[in-house]
């Protein structure tokens, strides 16, 4: 690739030692630490989520300009309903507003939007905003941006099993591929890299089927402080690892 055809993010990546030919195709992110970020500043938790939204806009752009093909983010987990009512309502509203406000820019930037999760359980206006985004951008050929909303990895597997049974598949015919083909977005490749912010070393029920061979990268930075440099550090660390997929690598 000639220098002139590189985006500023790619130029920075190359300077850091990233090989643009070996990028992770799919990056998944657990955006943790919004609440702690806000608390440290004496702010309400929702302001942390709002700042997290700003961060996400930047990271989507950076990931796209770097050449990442799929970015999946955990916006609201199936477990997040246990939070205080006002925080749940605020998060729902924030995701809805974001989905509406960002749609035009995402479409212009050739972003294809997908969703993952039990959308039948979220407020109808949010469901509509998300599905409008999916419909409007379905023909786009740039980065695929998947919003996991009311998402749980175990719930996804349960839903897959239900649909296999409903299709009348015989137990003896079920393979790993059968289950993979019934996940929410079966055409999306498994994540190569899972990033988690705010230091926690957990999977938190995110993409648990798809992450069997995924590299995990944890940074201490809370999500509102995650930026282009952090993303590039995660990719560089990923490239320094040896992925073995259970085999022996000399
Ligand atoms: C975890 O931080 C974050 C969430 C539960 C929500 C993530 C949502 C956003 C980044 C808002 C914007 C999203 C979209 C799609 C517009 P936490 O509250 O668990 O942080 P804590 O562990 O410090 O309390």
What the chain holds in terms of domains, given with CATH numbers, is: 23-151+187-233 (3.40.1180.10)
Cα-to-centroid distance, 236 and ligand 1 (Å):
25
Q: How confident is the model at residue 248 (pLDDT cuts 50, 70, 90)?
A: confident
Q: How many other CB atoms sit within 10 Å of the CB of residue 223?
A: 29
Average pLDDT over residues 87-101: 97
Of the pLDDT bands very low, low, confident and very high (cuts 50, 70, 90), residue 23 is very high
Question: What angle in degrees, to the nearest 10, is found between the helix axes of 85-108 and 124-137?
Answer: 20
Q: Tell me which of 19, 80, 213, 233 is the catalytic residue.
A: 80
Nearest to 34 by CA among 93, 91, 105: 91
Q: CB under 6 Å to ligand 1: residues? A: 31-36, 49, 52-53, 56, 75, 80, 91, 94-95, 98, 147, 198, 223
pTM score > 0.85 for this model?
A: yes
Cβ–Cβ contacts within 10 Å for residue 164, how many?
Answer: 18
Cα–Cα distance measured from residue 225 to residue 219, given in angstroms and rounded to the nearest whole number: 10
């Amino acid at each position: 690739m000639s220098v002139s055809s590189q985006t500023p993010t790619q130029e920075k990546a190359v300077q850091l030692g990233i090989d643009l030919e070996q990028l992770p195709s799919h990056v998944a992110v657990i955006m943790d630490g919004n609440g702690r970020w806000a608390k440290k500043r004496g702010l309400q938790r929702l302001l942390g989520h709002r700042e997290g939204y700003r961060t996400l806009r930047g990271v989507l752009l950076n990931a796209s300009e770097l050449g990442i093909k799929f970015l999946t983010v955990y916006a609201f987990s199936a477990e997040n309903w246990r939070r205080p009512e006002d925080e749940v309502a605020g998060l729902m509203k924030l995701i809805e507003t974001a989905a509406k406000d960002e749609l035009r820019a995402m479409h212009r930037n050739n972003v294809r939007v997908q969703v993952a999760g039990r959308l039948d359980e979220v407020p109808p206006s949010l469901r509509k905003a998300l599905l409008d985004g999916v419909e409007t951008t379905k023909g786009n050929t740039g980065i695929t941006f998947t919003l996991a909303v009311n998402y749980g990895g175990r719930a996804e597997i349960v839903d897959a099993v239900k649909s296999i049974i409903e299709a009348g598949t015989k137990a003896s015919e079920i393979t790993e591929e059968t289950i993979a083909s019934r996940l929410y977005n079966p055409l999306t490749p498994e994540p190569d890299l899972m990033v988690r912010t705010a230091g926690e070393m957990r999977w938190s029920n995110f993409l648990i089927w798809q992450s069997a061979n995924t590299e995990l990268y944890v940074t201490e930075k809370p999500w509102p402080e995650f930026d282009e440099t952090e993303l590039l550090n995660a990719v560089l660390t990923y490239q320094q690892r040896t992925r073995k997929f259970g085999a022996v690598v000399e």
